[in-house]
Structures are given as structure tokens and as C-alpha cells.
Structure 1
């Protein structure tokens, strides 16, 4: 096995589209990190689960699992004004609706959760909506939408989950450092890019090195992952979060300098605990 680096950060996002929480350790399951994206916000008029692609103001709310008390673990939301509400608060739907400007409800993932994509008519207006979220300027490439699987046409997330493409996303410090050097005026805070895992590559290599890991198998402690696909970036990375200003130039840099991809997706081969400081190896 070849050592690639060490785990620098672990991030979990209890609510689809919202900012998440930094962890020192977390169990990796077949469905991604334990507790990741188990809730979502539904636009009641469209009857559709929303993401930060379509509702970027979701990023201004931080979601976390409250494990401090003797009671069962509960979901807590931190709003931009500093107020905190539990998921079972009678005011939570009203607060989210006011923030998003759309009547919305917070809901947990269940076996019968409706994940169907909203389609106003029989044409491809839904695809035009999706393309618009990537916020490309004239001459900039879009991801290839020509051969989407039927599930991505019919559903807003992978059936049975609130994950859009994959249950696990990782990013390296090498990639962030590379883009920071090319565009130093921007804040390349990792939270803009919503990874589950940040790998510190220890200056062993430079550039967008995780793109070369595709189809490879990573060993982290007892856990094993297969690197599956690139992560094309949309306008969500440019949006304001509680401590981050909006910055459209970030997307221009990623499209121009990183072939519009930053980070990669992965699937779980073997479950196990991930911990900050764990070495990351590429299996032979």
C-alpha cells in the first residue's frame, strides 16, 4: 500500500443542503457517514426535496446532532441570527419558510419519502433548471447531461437516500492549496465544498491529485473506499454562509483551472470508524 496522507477533517451534514458539523471521529457505513443527510427540507408547493443548488440560503443554517444530554440524540439547527431550534420545535418550519422565501417543511428520511423531481410539464424545463444551478458563463463547459440514468431524471436524490450522486465525498489539501495559489484573493475555506473527508497530503504531491485516484481503493483504518467519480462544481460554492461571504470568482477559477471538478466521490467497500489523524493509503 502507498501512503497518500492523513485524515485532516471529517464533516457530516445532518440536513441535506445545510452547513454541517466538524467531527473528530465518525463511523463509515454502507450509506456514508453515520448520521449524514438523514433530514431534508421540502418545498411544499413543488412537493419536492430541496438542496443548496436550488435553495442556497439553506447554507446559512448549520445542522448538528446534539449528543450532550441524557435524552436520545436530537437534531439542532443554528440560524444566522444565532438562535437555535430543535427539529421538533413548533416554529422550525415557519423559520425555514421565512429564510427561504418558500413554504417549506423539515422532514426525516423514511422508507416512503417522496423523492420525485418536480416537473411542471412534459418538456425538459426541469433539466434547464438543473443546468442553471451550475451558473456557467458564456464559453464555459457544463457537465455532460446527455446520458443521465433514469433515476437522476425521475428523482432529486439517490432512491432511498438524500444523497444527490454519492454517499461520500472527499477532497485533498493539495487541491485547495493549488487553487489558492492560483487565486489567492479568495477564501478557499473547505466548508464551501462540503466534503465528508479532507485528506492532508503532507506536501508529498501537488495539484489536483485526487483526480488520479479514480477507480482506486483507499484504506483508512478498518474502512475501505472505492473512488468512483469526479465532482463537477455548481454555483453553491460561491454562496454566502454564516462566516463566509459570497464569492463568484471561486467558480470561475474551478471551471478554468480544474476542468470544473474539485474533489471526488467514493463508495464504501468496508465499513469502519474514521478518525482525524488516521493515515490514508492507496491499496495495490
Structure 2
């Protein structure tokens, strides 16, 4: 195929979020099955009504402030990871996640729950963002620290120099091969909410981020995909559009 390849870019960073709405873990490689990155958002903070902790209130989610100041990770990578470790704002592993979460979010009815019949995903299983778009946002909000953690993608793709921002729009409706075997199909983009503005670890709160996205792109950012053929994603893998 040689010169006929439509290379969108290469994987710059991979992110998995073992506990929904917490900070995630950077990976060098990860297996991807029909559900998404293995172990991604497999756990969530659930209240007595069965709603999951999030940055917003919806039919399935309940806003629980403070979760973004925490992080989660799996102690080791296995075909069926879990349970994950919960890290406090200082990066220390929490001994009793449920007890810690009840104090942290100010609710005595929350627990750490593994996904059951109700999905923990907001929309589709895989979120892909480009450095072209990320660099544009940085230029639009000078003085505000911005990196991909604000947008919680699974995959950050480094695009070639000169790539326009929001190039992800051009991928919608197309398939892509990632690395050797993983095949995905881009279906739509994410509609962004106030979670984009919220403080997390070393990123301060700023309403300017969401305002910039709303003004330029109707609150939409990234490309969401479903998994067509499972495989493995690795940092440095090419993303080749079909």
C-alpha cells in the first residue's frame, strides 16, 4: 500500500481511567476489546440510588465534586484487571476506598462499584484527541494550563505539522487501523460539559476552556469510536485511516 496510506498520526499518549471520573493512568500499551481499553471505567463511585459519580447530573450520573482530584490505577495489568487502587490528591494509595470516598465527596451512601448491566461510559468506548486540536486550545486560552487530562481522552494522537485543529471531524464515519490489528470506527464527537473547566491535580479551574470550545466548535471536541476488531494499542503506533 505504501504511499496510499492515509496516516492520521501516531499515538503520543494512552490513558485509562479505572474509576470513572477520577484521574487516570498513563500506559505504554494496552489491550483493547469490544468494550474499549481493558479495564477502562470498569469501576465507578455509585450512590444508594444507583447513580454514578460524575461531573454532571443526568439520568445515570450524579455530580460529585472532588473526584478529579483523585486518581486511579490498576496495581498490575492482567486480562481482567481489578480492583483498582484509589490515590488521594497527594498520590498515596487509599487503604479503604469506600470510606475515603464517603468523606471526600461528603456522602455516606457511596461505594466503589464494578460495572454491571448499566454502562459506566457516557457515550462510546473510545475517545481520541489530536495534538493539533490541543495546541489550538492552548493558543486560545493563554495563561491557562491545558493538557489532554482536561478532556479525558483514551488516545492522544500526534498529528503531522500543519494539521488543522478539529481534524477529528474529518474522521467521522471512517475506520482506522491502529498498530498491527486494532481496528476502530469513528462515529461522532463528544459534547463537552463543565467538567472540562474543573480543577484537577495541577490544573486550575477555568471557565475559559469550555467557552473557547463552545465559541469555535459548538461545544464538541474529539472523535468517539467503537471497536471493530480488538487488538493492542501502543505508544508510537500509527493511526491509519481507511
1:94 and 2:53 correspond: no
Cα offset, 1:204, TM superposition: 4.3
> 1:40 — aligned with what?
44
**Residues 168-183 of structure 1: pairs in structure 2 closer than 5 A:** 168-183=126-141
- 2-structure distance, mates of 1:168, 1:73: 20
> 2:189 — aligned with what?
230
Q: CA RMSD in A?
A: 1.8
- Report the secondary structure of 2:136's partner residue: helix
Measured at CA, do residues 188 and 81 of structure 1 come closer, stay the same or move farther in structure 2, by a change above 3 Å?
closer
Cα offset, 1:108, TM superposition: 1.4
Cα offset, 1:28, TM superposition: 1.1
1:199 and 2:147 correspond: no
> 2:52 — aligned with what?
49
C-alpha contact 1:56 1:239 (8 A) present in aligned 2: no
C-alpha contact 1:12 1:33 (8 A) present in aligned 2: yes
**Residues 24-39 of structure 1: pairs in structure 2 closer than 5 A:** 24-39=28-43
Give unpaired runs (5+ residues) of structure 2: 57-62
- Report the secondary structure of 1:84's partner residue: coil
1:5 and 2:9 correspond: yes
- 1-structure distance, mates of 2:229, 2:241: 14
C-alpha contact 1:10 1:198 (8 A) present in aligned 2: yes
Cα offset, 1:73, TM superposition: 5.5
Q: Which deviations, in whole Å up to 9, do the C-alpha atoms of 1:172-209 show, x marking residues without a partner? A: 00101112222222222110100000110021412210
- Report the secondary structure of 1:179's partner residue: helix
**Residues 8-157 of structure 1: pairs in structure 2 closer than 5 A:** 8-44=12-48, 46-53=49-56, 54-67=63-76, 74-85=83-94, 89=95, 91-103=96-108, 104-111=110-117
What is the TM-score normalised by the length of structure 2?
0.89
Give unpaired runs (5+ residues) of structure 1: 112-158
1:242 and 2:201 correspond: yes
- Following TM superposition, where does structure 1 have runs of at least 4 consecutive aligned residues deviating by more than 3 angstroms? none
C-alpha contact 1:171 1:210 (8 A) present in aligned 2: yes
Cα offset, 1:75, TM superposition: 1.4
- Report the secondary structure of 2:163's partner residue: coil
C-alpha contact 2:14 2:29 (8 A) present in aligned 1: yes
What is the TM-score normalised by the length of structure 1?
0.76
Aligned length: 228
- Report the secondary structure of 1:177's partner residue: helix
> 1:212 — aligned with what?
170
Cα offset, 1:211, TM superposition: 1.0
- 2-structure distance, mates of 1:217, 1:5: 14
Measured at CA, do residues 3 and 204 of structure 1 come closer, stay the same or move farther in structure 2, by a change above 3 Å?
farther
Instruction: Pick from 165, 189, 205 the counterpart of residue 123 of structure 2.
Output: 165
Cα offset, 1:217, TM superposition: 0.7
